[in-house]
Homo-oligomer: A and B are copies of this chain.
């Protein structure tokens, strides 16, 4: 569930566009006004505002924001104004071009979106970058990661509830064999993780737990510093419990020496309208601190204000 607080009566998009224009004009920028509008509008509203702004001022709102804002505040506002497919395309592009084995954005886009959302991101990637997402990932990621990520990102998983329990058992056995043999990048592991439906994978992981006495994620922890193993864990978690995955991701981003603003920005901007409410609740439960307090402690200025507006002040 979304954490956005949207006023009962949302002004017409053209009024919002006018207010934003005002925020940009004169001496300095009125960041407070920008925050008070954009952080309290749904994606459908934001799309309308962008359209209205283009009609009224002959300029893309994103260009105007890009000129007026800076640093982390700029990054989150720009991501926020984009619709979800474009936002994923931008995140994927940045990750593909500067790919490193610790990257999580590509895994999140591949595993914590619906099949159609993932495909919409690939389509937006064409329009924006005149190339395909898989082309850039294949050209930049290396070795086993390349195999894994390209298949993960090009998947169009079936989304029905049908589950084949016999298959789940046999593939759980297969996964266990490969994991026992430390063949983590074996093509059978990659095949199962990248092609089966999420419902089927959930059944397979349950069968794994039943047959071998521990969750697959535990068995993928033999070397906590191995980046490939950690990517596999992120994938299984993103597929089966995205909220838990994101709670942990944001916890790690905040608890780092020097907050990982990139991760905070990405997670808040992509989850605010999806499941940030659940993530907040899990965060509170797991850390005995409200997420909004943790964020306030670790960030400053307009960036902090924008994050807080998206997360919501109220107790979890």
- Cα distance A16–B52 in the bound complex, in angstroms: 48
- CB neighbours (8 Å) of A122 from chain B are 156
Q: Do A154 and B157 form a contact, CB below 8 Å, given A135-B195, A135-B196, A162-B130?
A: no
Q: List 10 extra interface pairs beyond A126-B160, A134-B154, A146-B187, CB under 8 A.
A: A123-B156, A126-B158, A130-B162, A132-B156, A135-B158, A135-B197, A138-B195, A139-B191, A147-B187, A150-B195
> Could you say which residues of chain B place their CB within 8 Å of the CB of A131?
158, 197
Q: Is the CB of A195 within 8 A of B134?
A: yes
Cα A195 to Cα B159 in complex, Å, equals 25
A119 located at the interface, meaning its Cβ lies under 8 Å from any Cβ of chain B in the complex: yes
Q: Does A151 contact B (CB under 8 A)?
A: yes
* Known contacts A132-B197, A134-B195; A159/B126 CB under 8 A: yes
Q: How far is the CB of A16 from chain B (nearest CB, A)?
A: 34
Within 8 Å of chain B (Cβ to Cβ): is A4? no
Q: Does A82 contact B (CB under 8 A)?
A: no
In the complex, which residue of chain B has the Cβ closest to the Cβ of A164? B131
Is A155 an interface position by the 8 A CB rule?
yes
Name A137's closest neighbour in chain B (CB-CB): B195
User: Which chain B residues lie closer than 8 Å to A155 at the CB level?
Assistant: 132, 134, 154
